[in-house]
Amino acid sequence: MGENGESEIIEHHDDEEMEKIRTPRNHSHSFLESVTSSDKDGYSSTQSSHRLLAYSDALISIIATVMILPVAHTKFQDNEELKQSIQALLTTKVAVYLMTFLIVTVAWAAHIRLFQVIERIDDTLALLNLACMMLITFLPYTFSLMATFPNNILGILLFCACVMVIGLIQALIVLYGFGRPFLLNDQIQMSENQAYYKRRILEVIMRVPIMCLFASIFSVIYIPLSYIILAIVIFLPYISQCLKWIRSKAIGGQVEDSPDSVPFYTYHPSEPLSKERVEAFSDGVYAIVATLLILDICEDNVPDPSVVKKEFDDNLIIALQEYGPEYLAYFGSFATVGLLWFVHHSLFLHVTKATRLMGLFNTFSLAFVGGLPLAYQLTHEFPRGSRNELEAVQISCVIIFFAGLFQLAMWVTALFTERETLHPYVRYGGREHAFMLAKLSLYPCVALGAFVFTCVLSRFSTSIFHMMEIGVPFAFLILRLVVRVALAIIRWLFCPVRNDLDSVPVEDEDLQLPINDIVT
Amino acid sequence: MGENGESEIIEHHDDEEMEKIRTPRNHSHSFLESVTSSDKDGYSSTQSSHRLLAYSDALISIIATVMILPVAHTKFQDNEELKQSIQALLTTKVAVYLMTFLIVTVAWAAHIRLFQVIERIDDTLALLNLACMMLITFLPYTFSLMATFPNNILGILLFCACVMVIGLIQALIVLYGFGRPFLLNDQIQMSENQAYYKRRILEVIMRVPIMCLFASIFSVIYIPLSYIILAIVIFLPYISQCLKWIRSKAIGGQVEDSPDSVPFYTYHPSEPLSKERVEAFSDGVYAIVATLLILDICEDNVPDPSVVKKEFDDNLIIALQEYGPEYLAYFGSFATVGLLWFVHHSLFLHVTKATRLMGLFNTFSLAFVGGLPLAYQLTHEFPRGSRNELEAVQISCVIIFFAGLFQLAMWVTALFTERETLHPYVRYGGREHAFMLAKLSLYPCVALGAFVFTCVLSRFSTSIFHMMEIGVPFAFLILRLVVRVALAIIRWLFCPVRNDLDSVPVEDEDLQLPINDIVT
């Protein structure tokens, strides 16, 4: 603890020290600032923004994920086909969940970019940020309204009003930040043309609110048009990113920006995202998803004392046996989410820089992870051996497969620019490369295998699924051993070629140091 | 972002560098370790435990808080007195919430202590920790069973089984950690008698599981006795801490430990807690509580299209007006929780070290914060002007009052040992001292004022409460100004005495630096 506390203090002091050094460079402001009392006071209360961002990440990740609950709470009629109920579900609730997840991650990405420009905060900025968060957490409700009343303009108007107010607050934050330059990012603080940056950032921030203004105006005239505008707002950044990345890979050698431009607000697929915040957001989503089912279990699976007395002859154990599959669903869901977090954790341990494209794949992966509790709940809602049960198990497999696949995609994306984004260990030819590949591909492979097995042996679908649940944690425990054996076999088969690739000289140092120490 | 990413890398490398330096000091192990392949391999996969702990904090804070949901979802009958329904509620659900909150924070404190000893992790430890988390998240369910079937031993047995397995996993983690000393805390790593620490830590860890073993044995014979044992398990650490602290303050000069003993596993009130983890846990609780109500709003407050068509003549706005008070409850609850977070954030910005006693007050404060959504939901459940409404508003005031008061208590506790625990700014006589006092006492004062007003003007209780909600955010915005004016008046009244106290010379430096810079 002492270490943490101290580094915090040091950081705190460092910040102030650096501000003292930095502020004078701005010759036009520095003297005035140090003299006028109000500015100096604002300056003395300057804080590191770290915890504010962590709290915002927690709020946003919760909001992004809880909208799966209305989906999960929909009761399925067992007598009709699962396909029908799934279709009824898809039209509204799943759409609300996905829309919320995407818009909230768009808002989150904007929040990251904003606080990459404004690196230090004070009390006023903290309060403005809280107001912004309050409106973001209200967005899912506007989506619920839109999905339930697609022909009523109220949902659209509410949504647009929220987005416009959020935009105004963000613009206010930018103006406030540029009014007190010691709050800004160092690069902008030292730059000559702050006014240009201010205008450029404000332009990007106000783009979405202005589109929402148009959407709200058009909603009075022709509602479908405003939905199209909203869809553009939500999906355009994602689509344009994908297209740009594909183009840059196809043509090769992307156009460089002018040297003066900031790396923020460019919408470049290789624009850096704060790695720390991607981790915090992902942690929040994984934590919420892992615990969503215990909520239902605590509320629904405690039998009524009178029922136990009447129907089960006061024998609680027999009464609870009815809920057996639900406990299994809880532990299975917790284990799967926990292990997917573990894979994510292992990956980000070796990632040195997160780009926007990696963030995009991360979002897709998290959106599937958010669907997991629903999938697990489905697996125990239907009687054994029914066709519905088979389909529920298969949907679970598909969700796990895609959640794992997008994690793998993150790593593959990182490998394309491995010098900037990856730690040497996991680069191609690095010591941990094969192990990381095995870790990332374990879940997609297992899920795919389970899916194929359930197609062939449809009678045993649940058993196969439960075997998978129980087997995977142990697979992770012995994975390192398996990979080493596999590598040894490959080396033995194809002669010692890999030694040349092992160019990282860390291992030698490991061996030398202790010996030196003993000698001296 | 660049900064974060880089500092992360540097930290990563630092960790490894430091391990290289540290390991050799352990002369008995170092040479062997560097030679045997299996150990070296385990060592190469050593990771900083930071993110694992953040994820655990997120999980534990969610579990601690979600148990308020069953309380909030209890429907109150409006025709009977509130007191009756509150009593029926108190007996089971509130008890379950408080028990869960306390036991989970006990488990969390144990988790902190464990990972203060084991500072670095590898894959095996990460997986063991996930297993531990899975069992901790299952504890609330065992409490629900106990509360619903107090005379059935199944709940007790399940709880004891979970705690015992958690204890075994933690013991396994300790054994694994002492088997690979490079994972341990530096102090223990460098110490001569590791075996003593190992035994001592295992003793402390196994104390609770052994008590649970006795509780489960006694449950077969005489159930109340096992409840008493469980209560001792939960409350003893808290009570003994309070008593020790009071005794140390009353008698003065607490007994110092022998110089060789570690500062962990002492149960001392001044034992350090990881400040970072207290922040992360609090953030999680505040974030969950702030968003709990939006969940209910999204599920319950979207009217059925057919109902809107029939009863409200297809006018959605009129249909939604029925829910007006619930939106107000949401925004009010979000604002209150957000501002309480803001106060907590401001306080911990100036705290350099968190002690166990501060952690205790923090837990109490958070337990009251967790009750806020319930209180706010109560305020709109009853018709205007009824006696129930008055009581609901007063309960809300009491909850806010205690949540704020325990935050203030944290600061007062820190002031007793201000040299170690506080930043110079907020110590007695520091530049921000008065401002911090104002920030921390704003909510208790306002809540107390609102409570008194509702007693006097009981007819306007809701209006007073809403005035408070709207007024407090603005009060925070102008608080600095108010404090400065108040200080100026006090100074003017009692002559310039305070200047002597202002011994921190930071302000002078601020003035000098830029001028120097311009001169040179």
- The two counts, helices (H) then strands (E), for chain B are 24, 4
ipTM, two decimals:
0.76
The arithmetic mean of pLDDT across residues A470-494, rounded, is 84
Q: Which residue has the higher pLDDT, B85 or A463?
A: A463
The residue of A125, A294, A436, A480 whose CB has the most chain B CBs within 10 angstroms, and thus the best one to mutate to test that interface, is A294
pLDDT at B403 over 50: yes
What is the DSSP secondary-structure string of A301-353?
Answer: SS--HHHHHHHSTT-HHHHHHTTHHHHHHHHHHHHHHHHHHHHHHHHHHSBS-
The arithmetic mean of pLDDT across residues A51-56, rounded, is 86
Shortest CA distance to B399 belongs to which of B363, B367, B361? B367
pLDDT at A449 over 50: yes
B309: pLDDT confidence band, cut at 50, 70 and 90? confident
pLDDT at A355 over 90: no
| A510: chain B residues, CB-CB within 8 Å | 20, 34, 40, 43-44
pLDDT at B506 over 50: no
Is B417 strand, coil or helix? Answer: coil
Q: Which residue has the higher pLDDT, A299 or B252?
A: A299
Is A518–B45 a contact, with Cβ atoms under 8 angstroms apart? no
A19: pLDDT confidence band, cut at 50, 70 and 90? very low
Shortest CA distance to B56 belongs to which of B344, B284, B301? B284
Q: Which residue has the higher pLDDT, A432 or B88?
A: A432
Tell me which DSSP letter residue A426 carries.
Answer: G
Tokens representing residue A419 in the block: 């010098």
Is A127–B518 a contact, with Cβ atoms under 8 angstroms apart? no
Report pLDDT for B79.
55
The arithmetic mean of pLDDT across residues A345-358, rounded, is 84
Report pLDDT for B409.
92
What is the rounded CA–CA span in Å between residue A478 and residue B122? 13
The answer to whether residue B280 neighbours chain A at the CB level (below 8 Å) is yes
Q: Which of A94-103, A172-181, B72-81 has the lowest mean pLDDT?
A: B72-81
Of chain A, the percentage scoring pLDDT greater than 70 comes to 76
Q: Which residues contact B207 (CB under 8 A, 6 or more apart)?
A: none
Is B283–A477 a contact, with Cβ atoms under 8 angstroms apart? no
Count CA within 13 A, CB hemisphere, residue A365: 28
Is A116–B1 a contact, with Cβ atoms under 8 angstroms apart? yes
pLDDT at A505 over 60: no
Shortest CA distance to B280 belongs to which of A367, A124, A284? A284
- The two counts, helices (H) then strands (E), for chain A are 24, 4
Tokens representing residue A110 in the block: 């904007």
Shortest CA distance to A267 belongs to which of A289, A251, A248? A248
What is the rounded CA–CA span in Å between residue B520 and residue B518? 5
Tokens representing residue B183 in the block: 């994972």
The answer to whether residue A358 neighbours chain B at the CB level (below 8 Å) is no
What is the DSSP secondary-structure string of B108-138?
Answer: HHHHHHHHHHB-EE-HHHHHHHHHHHHHHHH
* Whole-number average pLDDT of chain B: 74
Cα dihedral B470, B471, B473, B477 in deg (nearest 10): 150
Which B positions 108-167 lie with beta carbon below 8 A of chain A? 116, 123-124, 126-127, 130, 133-134, 137-138, 140-141, 144-145, 148-149, 152, 154
pLDDT at A254 over 60: no
Q: Which residue has the higher pLDDT, A138 or A15?
A: A138
A244: pLDDT confidence band, cut at 50, 70 and 90? confident
The answer to whether residue B223 neighbours chain A at the CB level (below 8 Å) is no
Report pLDDT for B406.
93
By C-alpha distance, the chain A residue nearest B27 is A518
Contact assessment for residue A64 and residue A104, using Cβ atoms and an 8 Å cutoff: yes
In this predicted model, what pLDDT tens digit does every residue of B432-450 receive, in sequence order?
788 888 888 889 999 898 8
Q: Which of A96-105, A283-292, A387-396, A506-515 has the lowest mean pLDDT?
A: A506-515
A306: pLDDT confidence band, cut at 50, 70 and 90? confident
| A287: chain B residues, CB-CB within 8 Å | 55, 58-59, 62, 284
By C-alpha distance, the chain A residue nearest B352 is A5
Instruction: Give pTM, 2 decimals.
Output: 0.78
Instruction: Name the most confidently modeled range: A105-109, A287-291, B167-171.
Output: B167-171
Report pLDDT for A172.
92
Is A342–B130 a contact, with Cβ atoms under 8 angstroms apart? yes
User: CB-CB: which of A66, A119, A130 is closest to B291?
Assistant: A66
Report pLDDT for A404.
93
Q: Which residues contact A156 (CB under 8 A, 6 or more apart)?
A: A146, A215, A216, A219, A223, A226, A227, A230
Q: Which residue has the higher pLDDT, A35 or B422?
A: B422
Report pLDDT for B28.
37
Contact assessment for residue B120 and residue B40, using Cβ atoms and an 8 Å cutoff: no
B17: pLDDT confidence band, cut at 50, 70 and 90? very low
Report pLDDT for B382.
67
pLDDT at B22 over 60: no
What is the DSSP secondary-structure string of B195-257?
Answer: HHHHHHHHHHHHHHHHHHHHHHHHHHH-HHHHHHHHHHHHHHHHHHHHHHHHHHHHH-SPPPP
Report pLDDT for A506.
39
pLDDT at B118 over 50: yes
Instruction: Name the most confidently modeled range: B11-20, B372-381, B399-408, B468-477.
Output: B399-408
Is A24–B62 a contact, with Cβ atoms under 8 angstroms apart? no
Is A514–B34 a contact, with Cβ atoms under 8 angstroms apart? yes
In this predicted model, what pLDDT tens digit does every residue of A153-163 receive, in sequence order?
888 888 889 98
A39: pLDDT confidence band, cut at 50, 70 and 90? very low
In terms of C-beta distances under 8 Å and separation of at least 24 residues, what long-range contacts does A406-409 make, across chains too?
A406/A361, A406/A362, A406/A364, A406/A365, A406/A368, A407/A340, A407/A343, A407/A344, A407/A347, A407/A361, A407/A365, A407/A440, A407/A443, A408/A440, A408/A441, A408/A444, A409/A361, A409/A365
- Cβ burial of A128 (10 Å; 0-12, 13-18, 19+) is middle
In this predicted model, what pLDDT tens digit does every residue of B194-242 receive, in sequence order?
888 888 888 888 888 888 888 888 888 887 888 888 888 777 766 776 7
Report pLDDT for B429.
73
Helices marked H in B254-315 — which ranges?
Answer: 275-300, 305-311
Report pLDDT for B516.
35
Report pLDDT for B1.
37
pLDDT at A257 over 60: no
| B138: chain A residues, CB-CB within 8 Å | 294, 330
In this predicted model, what pLDDT tens digit does every residue of B149-199 receive, in sequence order?
877 888 888 888 998 999 999 999 989 988 888 888 777 777 777 888 888
B462: pLDDT confidence band, cut at 50, 70 and 90? confident
Q: What are phi and psi of A301, to 5 degrees?
A: -100, 20
Q: Which residue has the higher pLDDT, B3 or A110?
A: A110
The arithmetic mean of pLDDT across residues A252-274, rounded, is 54
pLDDT at A357 over 70: yes
* Whole-number average pLDDT of chain A: 74
Report pLDDT for A394.
84
A168: pLDDT confidence band, cut at 50, 70 and 90? very high
A212: pLDDT confidence band, cut at 50, 70 and 90? confident
Is B513–A288 a contact, with Cβ atoms under 8 angstroms apart? no
Is B127–A283 a contact, with Cβ atoms under 8 angstroms apart? no
Q: Which of A89-103, A135-149, B83-97 has the lowest mean pLDDT?
A: B83-97
Report pLDDT for B45.
65
Which B positions 41-70 lie with beta carbon below 8 A of chain A? 41, 43-45, 47, 51-52, 54-55, 58-59, 62-63, 66-67, 69-70
Report pLDDT for A402.
92
Q: What angle do CA A186, A281, B3 make, to 5 degrees?
A: 20
Task: Give the relative orientation of helices B324-349 and A50-66 as an angle to the nearest 10 degrees.
Answer: 150
| B145: chain A residues, CB-CB within 8 Å | 302, 316
The arithmetic mean of pLDDT across residues A221-244, rounded, is 77
B375: pLDDT confidence band, cut at 50, 70 and 90? confident
Q: Which residue has the higher pLDDT, B7 or B231?
A: B231
Shortest CA distance to A111 belongs to which of A61, A170, A160, A51? A170
| A126: chain B residues, CB-CB within 8 Å | 342, 345
The arithmetic mean of pLDDT across residues B121-130, rounded, is 87
The arithmetic mean of pLDDT across residues A66-79, rounded, is 66
